[in-house]
Structure 1
Amino acid sequence: MPERPIRLFGDPVLKTPSAPIENIDDGVRSLVADLLDSVALPGRAGVAASQIGVNLRAFSYNVDGKIGYVLNPRIVEVRGDPELVDEGCLSVPELWYPVLRHPWARAEGVDLDGRPVVVEGSGVLAQALQHEVDHLDGKLYLDRLDKDRRREAMRRIRESRWF
């Protein structure tokens, strides 16, 4: 399957909470293949299904050479006090802002065979897990910015060549 185009800020699918996957069928298998192809490109730590226009709870990740996916993911545990970490998003190109994220996170879900999947870690992986689950909840990292930074981000988006 080919990598799919990333939906950009302003697309309603990015602000819509994703539906749980009820049945693992050929469509879901195709979605996972597309997510894996889409996240394999350089510079990508994660891709949520909503970012490729599919309103289902699934994401792929690519951190430290480990590529995988989770269906119906949820963050079940975080550790450590939230820290400001620079964050960007494929759906909001060219912008990076500090966002509060826990330094460790654990996500649980299932794989294509319905078996339990656990992905946990610190650093970039923890950040990616939190970021991608936010996407599936209809939130962008911009929603986590303080009022002044969000205002600046909105101005920069309006001035961008991609918006």
Structure 2
Amino acid sequence: MEMTVLTDPQPTLRHRSVEVAASDFGSERIKKLADDLIETMNVENGCGIAAPQVGVNERVIIVDPGDDATAYVNPVIVDRSFKTTMSEEGCLSVPGVWGMVKRNRNVTVRAFDLDGNPVEKTVDGLHAIIFQHEIDHLDGILFIDRVEKFTRPPKPPAL
């Protein structure tokens, strides 16, 4: 089921998300959340989405660099390259705004799949950018907090 994407300045986007309890791994609730996140991301033409973006304060993300949408539970970045890359980012929760963001070129992420099996991935390029962007959401950080230069800035408030 498609969910409503919260947009900035919705305060819940700025909250740090709580970890999913081990007892919830494999549950219908978590599997349904992942399915709903994937559907919402696809409808919105995104390449990633985090549970807080739909008002669920749990550490669940979907990453889809173009080949396969995958859910990650309680993801953490355990290693990052010293080399960085600058790329243009946007966000479903900050519609119409784009900016240049510096991210680590490579990251290693540890997480769990929906059934609670441990997963560790080292990724680069777009895959690494999506992981960093979505994990930021879990910590209450929006890409606009990291923008070095807006390419399509926010519109000024109407008077």
Q: Which category of TM-score, normalised to the shorter sequence, fits these structures?
A: 0.7 to 0.9
Alpha-carbon offset, residue 52 of structure 1: 0.8
Q: Structure 1, unaligned stretches of length 5 or more? A: none
Q: Distance in 1 between matches of 2:60 and 2:113?
A: 10
Q: Structure 2, unaligned stretches of length 5 or more? A: none
Q: What SS does the corresponding residue of 1:89 show, helix, strand or coil?
A: coil
**Are the equivalent residues in 1 in contact too, given 2:78–2:108 (CA < 8 A)?**
yes
Q: Distance in 2 between matches of 1:102 and 1:115?
A: 26
**What is aligned with 1:9?**
8
Alpha-carbon offset, residue 40 of structure 1: 2.9
**Are the equivalent residues in 2 in contact too, given 1:39–1:61 (CA < 8 A)?**
no
Alpha-carbon offset, residue 64 of structure 1: 2.3
**Are the equivalent residues in 2 in contact too, given 1:39–1:62 (CA < 8 A)?**
no
**What is aligned with 2:29?**
27
CA offsets per residue over residues 102-161 of structure 1, 9 Å max, x none? 111221111121101223321111100000000000100111135xx57x94x52635xx
**What is aligned with 2:61?**
59
Q: What SS does the corresponding residue of 2:96 show, helix, strand or coil?
A: strand
Q: Distance in 2 between matches of 1:35 and 1:120?
A: 23
Considering fraction of residues, name the structure with more helix. 1
**What is aligned with 1:131?**
133
**What is aligned with 2:144?**
142
Q: Give % identity.
A: 31
Q: What SS does the corresponding residue of 2:6 show, helix, strand or coil?
A: coil
134-143 or 103-112: bigger deviation: 103-112
TM-score (norm 1): 0.85
Q: What SS does the corresponding residue of 2:3 show, helix, strand or coil?
A: coil
Provide the aligned C-alpha RMSD in A.
2.0
